[in-house]
Structure 1
């Protein structure tokens, strides 16, 4: 007799309300908060996260603020920012970011991410690709080329015009982006972890699928 008073259950979003191509990689784990895939040959990882709470993202509208935000996060781990941008995915403002963090022994770990924020939850696609084996080959080839052309100048103590934050030339903390990490060199080094991370994040941004319930979520207004 009380059926009349029952409220219709709302369609609640979950991890599977967003899907991304698995690239044919090996799925290593899944729980209600994340799915993880690895490619052992490339020492790379893809994770789709679901956070069932208000996003801790400061904004999805102020690009200059986001650049400072991620720059400081990267520098706090002695890393550096490679790219930060606001992109639209299915008409939803999302934040794309790439940073690098020095590994303990040698080389860099490159972490690319797409944050998809809503008022009370968010999804994050994270790609991590690590330098393994012989590291620094891309850096060495491009440094030698730019030194020969005079674009980079080397003396006993410094390299001028080699290391620079991509958005703020006055910022000097952490491990700054270097000229070899510009996107225009990715085609020369397709197996480099940065090329892999950058290619994957670009591909996922264009192929990610939102189920119908995602479109009903309140927007992230910051």
Structure 2
């Protein structure tokens, strides 16, 4: 695998998954042998953050995203939340590193889930900031309203007061790993990712036309051009997580 990281305290399930037997957190390391689907270059953080916010809004909420370096390699650090399927309440939090290259990428992430009573962190923050300030506009895309709202309680400044919260665990683990992980030299020297590929505009051949006689009366005829090979232009949607 392209990334080596500290696994102390984790139980290895297979070659790419580990679990924390105490918290239930799950770590995965994935190598993807195709061009990254990031919507923008790491050199354009404003566009990247905005488009990631739009994409994640369909499933939950992007909490934060940062272009950083891991062992000298460009990387994206992202933190997200989403509702847990099959449960009436409770959230899951993922924190991950994406190391993109021109034709492949490596992704290391942790998933931490709420257990027991949910919403404890949020309820404790309300008296401190006021309910009217609990759901500010998203800093990366203020007009976006996603499946989950951007929440003042998700701010990192509250983490020390909630050391066992899944968001605190996810943020703390990925922050530590981003500083200590090592990248395989063979992966490090691969051509860099410079942004999503822009497809060339398709060539649309001119429609062939032929002239046919359309009688309009007994003594006269008019001609009309009728295309014999119509061409229908289509647009292809290019896709982020």
Specify the TM-score bucket, using the shorter chain as the normaliser. 0.7 to 0.9
| Per-residue deviation, 1:83 | 0.4
| Per-residue deviation, 1:216 | 2.1
Determine whether 1:85 maps to 2:66.
yes
Determine whether 1:47 maps to 2:28.
yes
TM superposition outliers: structure 1 runs of 4+ over 3 Å: none
Question: Could you tell me which of 117, 122, 129 is aligned with 2:100?
Answer: 117
* Unmatched tracts of structure 2, length 5 or more: 196-241
| Per-residue deviation, 1:102 | 1.2
RMSD of Structure 2 on Structure 1 (CA): 1.5
Note if contact 1:83-1:166 (Cα within 8 Å) is conserved in structure 2: no
* Unmatched tracts of structure 1, length 5 or more: 1-14, 147-151, 154-159
* TM-score of the aligned structures, taking structure 2 as reference length: 0.75
* Secondary structure of the structure 1 residue equivalent to 2:22: helix
| Count of matched residue pairs | 191
CA distance in 2, matches of 1:23, 1:110: 21
Corresponding residue for residue 162 of structure 1? 134
Deviations along 1:108-148, one digit per CA (max 9) or x if unpaired, are 100111100111111001111000111111111111232xx
Note if contact 1:81-1:176 (Cα within 8 Å) is conserved in structure 2: no
Bigger CA drift: 55-64 or 125-134? 55-64
Higher helix share: 1
Corresponding residue for residue 11 of structure 2? 26
CA distance in 1, matches of 2:120, 2:55: 27
Determine whether 1:218 maps to 2:191.
yes
- Correspondence 1:1-222 to 2 at 5 A: 15=1, 17-30=2-15, 35-58=16-39, 59-77=41-59, 79-103=60-84, 104-146=87-129, 152-153=130-131, 160-164=132-136, 165-222=138-195
Larger radius of gyration: 2
